[in-house]
Amino acid sequence: MRFVLVHGAWHFGELWEPVRGYLEAAGHEVHTPTAGGLRAGDDMDVDLRGSVAPIAAYIREHDLTNCVLVGHSWGGYLISRIAIDLPERLRRLVYFAAYVPRHGNSLADELPPHLRSALGALAEQAGDGSVVIPFHMWREHFFSDGTIEHAWEIYEKLRPQPYRTLVDKADMTGWERVPPAFSYINPSEDNDIPQGEWARHPRLSSRLGVFRLVGMPGSHEVLLTNPELTAQKLIEAGRE
């Protein structure tokens, strides 16, 4: 299979490297572009389309077709836009602990009120158009199944997230053109949004209609804490 792996907020393409290694060892082709606003030197004043642009350009420039397009977390917004713009290049969309956008809703709109308020406060605190996640939130909500040492190692690599990309409203015009081949990977200990009524699955995953559900143990950052299992689940999610 040909995988295009799209990262989530505060991440960048190279953080997929452990997963990439296992996928390539299993004989698959892997691409890990970085979204606009998260590349070195990028401006923080970027919206969702600006974040999507470098990834879409990468797919075109490398003439990638028959792709399994994977979006982790916030990356669900990016792969949805790419799928609308480049439907002929895709074989399947895989939402990995990801947001499934609704037309006119931003990522912030999908958060419980206390997290929405916290996001806005963090942006105000940064004062430069970015949001930086505090370590205690990273450790407890995102990286709960890794060691404290590993949590710090990855945290120090994270990049500021452009705030506009989290409050920009999704434009899903043209979604009907997207090939209806969807998978949703649901890590059972994913708690970056509290489990229960606000959990992404099944609240957001159900927006896909008919889709393949792939379960796995692990936190929101299981791609980093257990890359071998993540690779196995991506293969399961991407297969015909």
Contacts of residue 124, defined as CB under 8 A and 6 or more positions apart, other chains included, come to none
Length of the chain: 240
Name the active-site residue from 73, 183, 205, 219: 73
For residue 97, what are the CA distances in angstroms to 49, 77, 185, 213, 223?
A: 21, 12, 6, 11, 10
The tokens for 229 are 């299992």
CA–CA dist 234, 220 (Å, integer): 15
Between β-strands 182-187 and 212-216, what pairing exists: parallel, antiparallel or unpaired?
A: parallel
Contacts of residue 51, defined as CB under 8 A and 6 or more positions apart, other chains included, come to 35, 36, 37, 38, 78, 162, 165
Between β-strands 182-187 and 29-31, what pairing exists: parallel, antiparallel or unpaired?
A: unpaired
Please say if 106 is a catalytic residue.
no
Of 47, 194, 181, the closest CA to residue 118 belongs to 194
Which residue numbers are catalytic? 73
